[in-house]
A and B are shown apart, each in its own frame.
Chain A
Amino acid sequence: MLSENRTLWLILCSFSLIASVSAGEVDFVRDIQPIFKAACYSCHGPEKQKGELRMDSRELALKGGSSGVMIKPGNSKDSLLMHRILGLGDEPRMPVKADALTKQQVELIAAWIDQGAKWPESASVAAQLKKHWAYVKPVRPEIPKVQDSAWVRNPIDAFILARLESEKLKPSPEADKTTLIRRLSLDLVGLPPTLQEIDAFLADTSPDAYEKQVERLLSSPQFGERWARPWLDLARYADTNGFNFDNPRQIWKFRDWVIDALNKDMPFDQFTLEQLAGDMLPGATQDQKIATGFHRNTMLNEEGGVDAEEARWETLLDRVHTTATVWMGSTMGCAQCHNHKFDPFRQKEFYQFLAFFDNSDEPLLRMPRPNKEAELKQVVEEIVAVDKQLKENKNDKELKKRFEDLKKKRAELEITTLVLQERANSTPATDFRIKGSYVNKGERVQADTPAFLSPRKADQPANRLGLAKWLIDPDNPLTARVTVNRFWETLFMRGLVETSEDFGTQGTPPTHPELVDYLATEFVAKKWSVKTLLRAIVTSATYRQSSKITREMLQRDPANKLLARAPRYRMEAEMIRDSILAASGQLSLKMFGPPVFPPAPELKGIVTTNKSSISWTVSKGEDRFRRSVYTYWRRTNPFATFVTFDATSREFCTVKRSRSNTPLQALNALNDAGLFDAARALAARMSAECTSMSADARLAYGFRLCTGRHPRSDELQAFSQAFEKELAHFSSDAAAAKSVIKGGTVPLPPKLQEPEFAALTMIANAMLNLDETISRE
């Protein structure tokens, strides 16, 4: 590679030589501009300015782009333009998507530069760089006019309908009430509605019946648990350290903080402030310190031979990547080794951004367990005393043992959580790393935000708190847009900007750009209230459409980008488990506290990590039936059902989970011990809660618990026939019946014989496996 470079270099030098000797006076308009026009303008002209470079304007061409100055008049050898058209160095040869320039063209350009790059004003357009849409502060757009104004419930609908009308499409009719209440309940609290809730809604004929349900669900304590899920994916929250040791860590207070903040509708700007810099707020409260656990969710490598500095460096890189992804929808990590190839992040700015995080200590925050304050205080005092004695008698065995016992006792009395703490008396700065290698240090850089975005204001100092304030400043063009888009994505399966993790020039442009800006400006205007945002979305006619797919829709808009229908999709992993437990009646709504261990397959015969010291002892009592957000998250081996249904490992920040549809999911839902036990519980519930003793009534009741609706007669007939077959089978095979109903947590219901219970369990197992049961429609 080196020698190849050298050869090209010689060619380049000789070109200049030849050109300057033989070409005579080069005329820009005659000789050069046609080359630029043919080879450069399509990417660096009036339409696009890739790499912030524009080659049709004298001023801008001479100024250069994100890679630096392109043309050095009088010096073709040092002009980046020559390097690029010759394909020297690591960057791709220009023009990228066309043939290389001819030797003659290259010579002409070299000669032109060597002759002073004369460029008459008359051959230059008075041009400005068009900033990428996402880097310009959003302004509230006009609400578009539509023909079918009767359909519009709120401004969101006007934006959606205007686009549909322009495409000559019509929105779908409103979904039926049962579908609506189930959709709303799954979306807002992550649980299906109870039959009582469905019945109450069906019976409510008042004009604001739907809105009343929206308010009920928004103020439900389960709201925070549901919306914590996507946030905890972003925050890479887990209960272990990751890597091959994957030891346990205690940071569940952070998870509880998120749930609580969402329930309180903490404004998103405050939510941001506390998580990024809660420790630096004046008079920081314990809760605000807990919130800084956001960036303590990074992994920790405890393998022998790990370089501590490198490990810390990886942690800082993760914090930069996560912050840029979550708040800025930006792939800033691309600028670690070189200037960003597509977005205006310069390499130096990457390190300036990283510097914000390179001034924090990482302590443990200790707090007493409820009602253990006094006891803990006493133990801590004793620890201090013994520690003092130990310093004097280092080898005293009894003292050592006493010390260890006291520490154990302290652990029983206190809760700890991981937090950030800004270092006093030092300013955030870090070392530039040449080509991104952490050992290859360059100049010292001070913390700062990227120059091409809104400038930091006077009350936004160059530290973590200033960074947080800058992110939530209404002048910041990204934060509000990126945030509203993610909420939209969670409800519609697809963001208005499909690449919800990348709002840069390589991301996909929004399907409804004005709607993005409307939602973003409204979000800020309504004081960053998440509940207000969600209320607006779920009360729109757009949201309330039916999700049925017609022939025309599949032809015209298979991916449903235009929203002529509501999306229909398989629920996410946690929602599936929670819905099944809700249907079976086993679900515990107990909130908060240490993570729990629902039944999971044994890990015998599949050693997954090196020295993982975590045992999975199934929780007792209601803890095994808690909502999935409280399930112990072991990074190297997360809860099996979650993994099967596309949950992430939480090793890194994840914006979007995939949504696969696989045979392993079928096996999991059919055969997992916990989910099969739910089938027994559902069967027991069918017999216990159904007033009628008829098999059909029980089956219909069970179906309704799973899907929210009454079965049609053909469906009921299928269940009924299947039940009769199973009943006959288990009546003739008492041993099989016994096996099916034993081994779980559900005793034989008083109204049922064993074969009946076994048969009903099998039908319940099938009901819990229906596509409809695990889908949000």
Chain B
Amino acid sequence: MKQQGNAETLKQLTRRHFFAQTGFGIGSIALSALLNGKLLSQSAAAAEIEALNPMAPKPSHYAPKAKRIIYLFMAGGPSQVDMFDPKPKLIEFNGQEIPQELIKGQRFAFIKGTPKLLGSPHKFKQYGQCGAPVSDLMPHTAQIVDDIAFIKTMHTDQFNHGPAQIFMNTGHQIIGRPSMGSWLTYGLGSESNDLPGFVVLLSGEIDPGAGNACWSSGFLPTTYQGVPFRSQGDPVLFVSNPEGVSAETRRRSLDLIRTINQKHLATTGDPEIATRIAAYEMAYRMQKSVPELAELANEPEHIHKLYGTEPGKVSFANNCLLARRLVERGCRFVQLYHRGWDHHGESPAKDLMTSLPRLCRETDQACAALVKDLKQRGLLEDTLVIWGGEFGRTPMNEERGGSKFLGRDHHPKAFTMWLAGGGVKGGVTVGKTDELGYNPAVDPVHVHDLHATVLHLMGLDHEKLTFKFQGRDYRLTDVHGHLVKKLYA
């Protein structure tokens, strides 16, 4: 208590110092902190520098249950009825036309006429204490059902990939609003001072999608946009020095830049120069920390076994392990995209019998490994893991152009997502779909509700996290959003 008081006094002293001094004052505090090689967050001058740093950690509205998020985005729309939401009635009525009243007035992306119901060709069993059903396609996820909570009744407003992905990320179907990760780093900053606060990791095939609009900062400052790590070359753009420039050479040139900038700070008194000096120092730290972070080979063998990782390969598994390493280092929001779930059934490469099982194999083990690994490290309790696509798939066979391969069209009305950790209760299932899996029957959860709940778990009130743009206060949840209390209460 006393210690805290002292730190607080010191902070106020330095703050007073800042206001009493010119910009040079703050610059010299900043620089002494930097030159001493202290972590900014530990130094007395931290508050001064961080007042200028848009990524400095900020207090939440109330005590958070989760401090960081790993979002496993299954782009393309995974088929809930073949993975998590078994529907015996579909098997019973397999091949029969869907009742007209269910699809009246609905637009589909591809289905024409009256489609036929399609029972899942994959078998389900119940697992864990909670007895959650999981299909044979996801044997590893089946082992962690007691740690995760399913939402069976997710629904969205959009039925095309691009708009639906943007909707799932920004709460709006048209490009231009900030994504969830941007809102969170805007609201909470980042706890890492040598890595980006919002990182995007990509794997899988090229699929229709909204691309980098999914991690855009929209009208928020671009500082808050997601930084996509590259799977080839530098993980972060420009993080490597040009050829022939060693770390020592770079350190010397940074010393030179700092010296001259420091002199100029004294002449002009512009605090922005102090921020720039700090930014260059962080850049230098990133040059070390990013390659170290990306070096998966340093992980022990049992971890590679757990995840199914192969260092050097581009894979979802590698990205899961990278995500764990990122949150360990204080990154606020890591979003993984694995693409290829768009199983319309137009060919074996896009059907339920060949392609869907392959996608499950590419992701199942690593997803479960991530949750287990976070748990064994004590990180799961305050790390929220989210799994899901932009929409689900129809309970009906698409039969595009009379295709004989099994497939399903886009289905925004009811699909499954799961969450784990970060205050979410394991073994819970929220919502129930109707007997055909077409509509929510109990407890529908809209995308806005999910957003409100995720912000809540992070200690943010979705109605209070706002940014003024074009004359009005915008929110991630726009004017909607109800907390899904069953997930955590």
Contacts and interface: CB of A to CB of B under 8 A. Distances in A.
Contacts of A722: 252-253, 255-256
Interface stretch (B118-126, B130-138, B225-233, B349-357): B225-233
Given A502-B471, A666-B279, A766-B253, A718 B259 contact: yes
Interface string A543-581: 000011111001100000000000011100000000000
Contacts of B22: 549-551, 554
Given A243-B175, A606-B202, A643-B222, A305 B238 contact: no
A731 to B, nearest CB: 13
B39 interface: no
A765 B212 CA distance: 31
Given A243-B162, A244-B211, A670-B238, A739 B243 contact: yes
Interface stretch (A31-39, A396-404, A452-460, A671-679): A671-679
A740 B231 contact: no
Contact of A665 (B176, B279, B472): B279
A715 interface: yes
B32 interface: no
Contacts of A604: 230, 232-233
Nearest to A772: B264
B261 A770 contact: yes
Contacts of A736: 244-246, 249
A506 B257 contact: no
A162 B117 CA distance: 78
B253 A610 contact: no
Interface in A636-684: 636-637, 640, 643, 646, 649, 651-652, 658, 660-668, 670-673, 676
Main secondary structure on chain A at its contact with chain B?
loop
B175 A661 contact: no
A725 interface: yes
A770 B471 CA distance: 37
A729 interface: yes
A769 B244 contact: no
B256 A342 contact: no
A52 B415 CA distance: 46
A60 interface: no
* Interface footprint category on B: 35 or more
B109 interface: yes
A722 B246 CA distance: 15
A725 B227 CA distance: 35
A594 B216 CA distance: 28
Contact of B238 (A325, A671, A725, A742): A671
Contacts of B10: none
A47 interface: no
A542 B23 CA distance: 22
A570 B472 contact: no
Contact of B268 (A301, A568, A667, A726): A568
B174 interface: yes
Contacts of B268: 547-549, 568, 777
B233 A333 contact: no
B237 A729 contact: no
Interface in B242-292: 242-246, 248-250, 252-253, 255-257, 259-261, 263-265, 267-273, 275-277, 279-280, 282-283, 286-287
A500 B401 CA distance: 53
Given A244-B211, A608-B212, A766-B253, A548 B267 contact: yes
Interface string B161-179: 1100000000000111000
Contact of B221 (A506, A658, A735, A766): A658
A244 B162 contact: yes
Interface string A607-619: 1111100000000
B264 A607 contact: no
A663 B260 contact: no
B473 to A, nearest CB: 10
Nearest to B240: A671
A211 interface: no
B175 A651 contact: yes
Nearest to B276: A771
A664 B237 contact: yes
A757 B54 CA distance: 38
Interface string A717-732: 0110010011001000
A551 B238 contact: no
Contact of A673 (B52, B242, B287): B242
A648 to B, nearest CB: 8
Interface in B94-128: 109-110
27 contacts: A244-B208, A301-B162, A304-B109, A331-B471, A331-B472, A334-B472, A604-B232, A606-B228, A607-B202, A610-B207, A651-B175, A660-B221, A664-B227, A666-B282, A667-B238, A670-B250, A673-B242, A715-B260, A719-B256, A736-B245, A736-B246, A758-B244, A762-B252, A762-B253, A765-B253, A766-B256, A772-B264
Given A551-B20, A740-B243, A771-B264, 18 more contacts: A305-B160, A331-B471, A333-B470, A548-B267, A549-B270, A554-B19, A610-B207, A646-B221, A658-B221, A660-B221, A666-B276, A672-B238, A718-B259, A722-B255, A725-B252, A763-B253, A766-B257, A769-B280
Interface of B: 19-23, 52, 54-55, 109-110, 159-162, 174-176, 196, 202, 206-213, 216, 221-223, 227-228, 230-233, 236-246, 248-250, 252-253, 255-257, 259-261, 263-265, 267-273, 275-277, 279-280, 282-283, 286-287, 314, 470-472
